[in-house]
Amino acid sequence: MSRPRAGRTAPTDGTPRVTEHSNSHGRHPLPLPGQGHREPGDAAAADRRREAVAAPAARHADGEAHASADTGTEGSRDGHHEPERRARASAEAHASAEHPDAAGPASHEDRTGRPGGVPSPAGPPDGGGTGPADAARTPAGGPGGGERLRFVGAATRRIARGIDLDEIVLGLCRATVPTFADAILVYLRDPLPVGDERPVGPVVLRLRRTDRLPEYVREDREDTDAPPERLPDPGPELAEAAAERCEVRIGGPLAEVLRGVRPVFGDSSAARAALPELLGEGRHVPLCQRTILAPLRGRRRVIGAAVFIRRMDRPAFEGDDLLVAAQLATHTALGVDKAVLYGREVYIADELQRTMLPDSLPQPTGVRLASRYLPAAETARVGGDWYDAIPLPGNRVALVVGDVMGHSMTSAAIMGQLRTTAQTLAGLDLPPQEVLHHLDEQAQRLGSDRMATCLYAVYDPVAHRIVIANAGHPPPVLLHRGGRAEVLRVPPGAPIGVGGVDFEAVELDAPAGATLLLYTDGLVESRIRDVWTGIEQLRERLIDTARLTGPNPPPLEPLCDEVLGMLGPGDRDDDIALLAARFEGIAPSDVAYWFLDPRPQTARQARRLARRALTRWGLEDLSDSVELLVSEVITNAVRYAERPITLRLLRTDVLRCEVGDDVPQLPRLRQARPSDEGGRGLYLVNKLARRWGATRLSTGKVVWFELPLPSQGR
């Protein structure tokens, strides 16, 4: 849905119009209020209010005295009114003297408020403030400094509530309009520097957000030669074309204002030159005390500027309002600093976690895999959820999902260590319960409070079986081909890291066409439902999805999306990891398996059996290569084995040959010398096979190699 342009249409409910600006170049359609006539008032009352508002700023300036000494900032000696001197002292406490990044002494011409006509806030910025008509009717001797202080307190609280950059800037806009000003423009540096990094290149300010009163009606300028305070509201050219991007010229008027840090009125000599540079050359700017230009300075440097503007039918700003603008600018700048640092930390933590998760899943023969990972929605905090799929010898695959307790960088780092440990243990081809036992020991070594839940399963596509062990994790759900979904009964076990507990594994059928879902508790548990209610909802969701595609199982990727679709707006309290495995299996007709005694005649017997299997599969073209490689590997196994040797051939998208024995030592590839009588077996395997390897098992080892099928080429 397109957004109406500001200045052309206006809401009828009296709410301020907020316009958010992205980093795209363009023009800014913002109606700005004009200039008006000041009315005299009670100077003594104004002085009392100025003193009341100035006290907190003076205390802030006293606390920053050392910073002024370090940066060479001078105090006020020019005889201005006390409120502005204190605003300047508070702002310059952070200053240095070389660039818009650094504040320092500046020779700006400043305007304090004239006696009378005190335009004070009419209510809190959280929605209870008065509108422009009420502000215009405020008497000359309106509310005093106490109400101004309450406004500043409420405004700073609203700004401080923001977490990200947009919330901080929006808080400033909503707190300011219409209580303090009728329009505001907020410019921020692009890009915003983070921490101690020093930006390279010119300082660029980009319009981040604007806010204005919806009742504003454009007026044609006629009396352009009138004195500044008698001009009507600014003309269409500024309303339609305020610059969205401004490159700050070093040594220019805008740079001088940013160096000075303190807010200035629009009719000061500095602002007269700085505002056209900021808003765009040739724009008609209200250069009077209806405009305040306030630099936004963070902890280390200037990060932007804010322009506060009042309409002609409302009393102009006065000297005390410079203090208010300084407070708003300071809290906004500190909030922006906080938001930028927070955003960077969240980004780094999220990238850390994502780099510890697999970029892509393997696709071993006999099983199809799909996965999803979603961070927590509300907090964007990094968690410790992970998933993995690890190919094992014999076309088996290990399926792992786990959840480290807590949400922090530490949780993500521990998750990475546990995932690496699980991969290493899987490479040893240990039973699932032993893998969890070693993970438990590793978690205890990391610390007594480093606990996690984990579910580890090994699927064998040849046997159509799966072995599962659980360590305090939610149970998996199996969706059968016919559409029936069941929660697998797996002993829950204790979380890893508890120590002193045994883990139990169960072996279950894994029929072809069935789908196994492993997930973390973020999918099924939230503030509005418990774990078992969520698991039942997941089971019902799977049944409904399977009903739509029956009798065929639902496609795996859309199935994952449907599962995540069960999450409601309040169901993203935790991050979510989801791993789905579709069992396809390997047909018995594509497998040949033999037990061979370790005798000298075994190599010849193995060649004959392999040739017979290849003939049955129509792969006679591979006979010579397979017989040669089988003979070399079997000969090496016969030399050292004491128990029967296993020989297995599998026909999938490649031809895989596996030779197993009871010797745990893995063979090593070496370059045989011309005088050596042996040592050439693995050399031939390395030259003729597409891939080969050796895997240590709990009962010995398996040496395997793969050859491409004749139609594939090598």
Considering the domain architecture, whether residues 48 and 160 belong to the same structural domain is answered as: yes
Considering the domain architecture, whether residues 505 and 600 belong to the same structural domain is answered as: no
Pairing of β 645-651 and β 654-661:
antiparallel
**CATH code where residue 595 lies:** 3.30.565.10
- Residue 338 in domain: yes
**If we measure between CA atoms, which residue out of 392, 394, 383, 448 comes closest to residue 416?**
383
Q: How far is residue 86's CA from residue 75's CA, in Å, rounded to a whole number?
A: 9
Considering the domain architecture, whether residues 579 and 601 belong to the same structural domain is answered as: no
What's residue 613's pLDDT?
96
- Residue 12 in domain: no
Q: How far is residue 388's CA from residue 520's CA, in Å, rounded to a whole number?
A: 13
Which residues are bridge partners to 351 per DSSP? none
User: 657: domain range?
Assistant: 588-708
What's residue 704's pLDDT?
92
Enumerate residues 6+ apart whose C-beta is below 8 A from 5.
29
Considering the domain architecture, whether residues 130 and 251 belong to the same structural domain is answered as: yes
- Residue 3 in domain: no
What's residue 471's pLDDT?
96
Q: With a cut of 50, list the residues of the chain below it in pLDDT.
A: 1-18, 22-143, 216-241, 713-714
Considering the domain architecture, whether residues 216 and 120 belong to the same structural domain is answered as: yes
Q: How far is residue 625's CA from residue 707's CA, in Å, rounded to a whole number?
A: 9
Considering the domain architecture, whether residues 170 and 243 belong to the same structural domain is answered as: yes
| Structural contact between residues 43 and 117, judged by C-beta atoms closer than 8 angstroms | no
* Token code pair at residue 428: 């040893």
Considering the domain architecture, whether residues 636 and 555 belong to the same structural domain is answered as: no
Considering the domain architecture, whether residues 575 and 592 belong to the same structural domain is answered as: no
Query: Per DSSP, which regions of 461-575 are E strands?
Result: 465-471, 477-479, 485-487, 505-509, 515-519
Angle between helices 319-356 and 409-427 (to 10 degrees): 10
Q: How far is residue 92's CA from residue 64's CA, in Å, rounded to a whole number?
A: 9
- Residue 1 in domain: no
Peptide bond into 600 cis (omega under 30): no
| Sequence-ordered alpha helix ranges (H) in 596-706 | 602-616, 623-640, 681-688
- Residue 713 in domain: no
- Of 583, 614, 648, which one is at a domain's C-terminal end? 583
0.85 exceeded by pTM: no
Q: Looking at residue 228, what DSSP letter applies?
A: G
| Structural contact between residues 292 and 307, judged by C-beta atoms closer than 8 angstroms | yes
* Token code pair at residue 438: 């070693």
* Token code pair at residue 214: 């919806």
Considering the domain architecture, whether residues 555 and 421 belong to the same structural domain is answered as: yes
Enumerate residues 6+ apart whose C-beta is below 8 A from 610.
623, 626, 627, 630, 647, 649, 657
**If we measure between CA atoms, which residue out of 300, 516, 235, 502 comes closest to residue 399?**
516
**CATH code where residue 113 lies:** 3.30.450.40
* Token code pair at residue 669: 């590839």
- Residue 714 in domain: no
Considering the domain architecture, whether residues 339 and 365 belong to the same structural domain is answered as: no
**If we measure between CA atoms, which residue out of 445, 28, 17 comes closest to residue 238?**
28
- Of 583, 618, 636, which one is at a domain's C-terminal end? 583
Considering the domain architecture, whether residues 336 and 439 belong to the same structural domain is answered as: no
Pairing of β 645-651 and β 203-212:
unpaired
- Of 344, 378, 409, which one is at a domain's C-terminal end? 344
What's residue 494's pLDDT?
94
Q: How far is residue 308's CA from residue 155's CA, in Å, rounded to a whole number?
A: 14
What's residue 70's pLDDT?
34
Considering the domain architecture, whether residues 600 and 568 belong to the same structural domain is answered as: no
> Residue 99: phi, psi to the nearest 5?
-155, 165
Q: How many structural domains does the chain have? A: 3
| Structural contact between residues 699 and 705, judged by C-beta atoms closer than 8 angstroms | no
Q: Looking at residue 666, what DSSP letter applies?
A: P
Q: Containing H/E element for 578? A: strand 576-583
Question: How many other CB atoms sit within 10 Å of the CB of residue 599?
Answer: 10
- Residue 336 in domain: yes
pLDDT digits (tens, 9 = 90+) for 288-334: 777 888 888 877 778 788 888 888 778 888 888 888 888 898 888 88
- Residue 2 in domain: no
